[in-house]
Structure 1
Amino acid sequence: MQPKQIVQQWVDVFNEGNADKIATFYADNAVNHQVANEPVVGKAAIHKMFTDEFASAEMVCIVENIFQDGDWAILEWKDPIGLRGCGFFQIENGLILFQRGYWDKLSFLKAHNLPIPT
């Protein structure tokens, strides 16, 4: 399966809000670095990150574009409340090895009435 197809499936599972299922997309030694946060290293830690995030806010990813370049897929997304972002996914052996995401954390926190760090 091509990286672009894997990311489309990842989006479908992300929108289910199921941390157990989304963790299956990641390699054991994967890194997920949402640039507004510290990198999360390892499949178990990524699973915990999604468990916590899905519990704190309802998140929906609407695909605007998915591009592919070799073993990389690039996702441009929006959500129903107008937030936008971009994610880069490096795929190896059918699993996400590295993910980096760019989005506006402050707008996200405000939109979901979550605490703003000081």
Structure 2
Amino acid sequence: MKPRKVVAAWVEAFNKADADLISSFYSDDATNHQVADGEVVGKEAIRAKFEQEFATADMVCIVENIFEDGEWAILEWKDPLGLRGCGFFHIINGKIQFQRGYWDKLSFLKQHGLPIPQ
């Protein structure tokens, strides 16, 4: 599957809040580095992180753009509350090997009424 299609399917799984389905898009030794949170390494750890996040807040990813360049896909997104961000996905053999995401964690926490770490 081409990188653009992998990311489009990843967004569908994200919007279903399905940690098992979303983790199926990652290679076993993948890295998910959300800059606001740090790195998570390994498919099972990534699944657990998504499970935790989906239990914490109702999240929706609205695609603004998906760009593709070779083994890379770039996702520009927004959510219904006005948060915006982008993600970079390195896809090898149809699986996400590396992901890096940029978004404003403080705005996210405030919008969802979650505690702000001190």
TM range (shorter): over 0.9
Q: Which residue does 2:110 correspond to in 1?
A: 110
User: Could you tell me which amino acid in structure 2 is paired with residue 8 of structure 1?
Assistant: A
Count how many residue pairs are aligned between Structure 1 and Structure 2. 118
Structure-1 residue corresponding to 2:37: 37
Paired amino acid for 2:51: T
Deviations 1:31-76 (A, max 9, x none): 0000001100000100000000000000000000000010000000
In the alignment, which residue of structure 2 is the partner of 1:96? 96
SS of residue paired to 1:64: strand
2:83 aligned residue: 83
Matching of residues 17-28 of structure 1 within 5 Å:
17-28=17-28
How big is the alpha-carbon RMSD for the aligned residues of Structure 1 and Structure 2? 0.4
Unaligned runs of 5+ in 1: none
TM-score, reference length from structure 2:
0.99
Report the TM-score when normalising by structure 1. 0.99
Distance (whole Å) between structure 2 residues aligned to residue 80 and residue 11 of structure 1:
15
1:62 equivalent in alignment to 2:68: no
Structure 1: which 4+ aligned runs deviate by more than 4 Å? Answer: none
Distance 1:57 1:103 in 2: 15
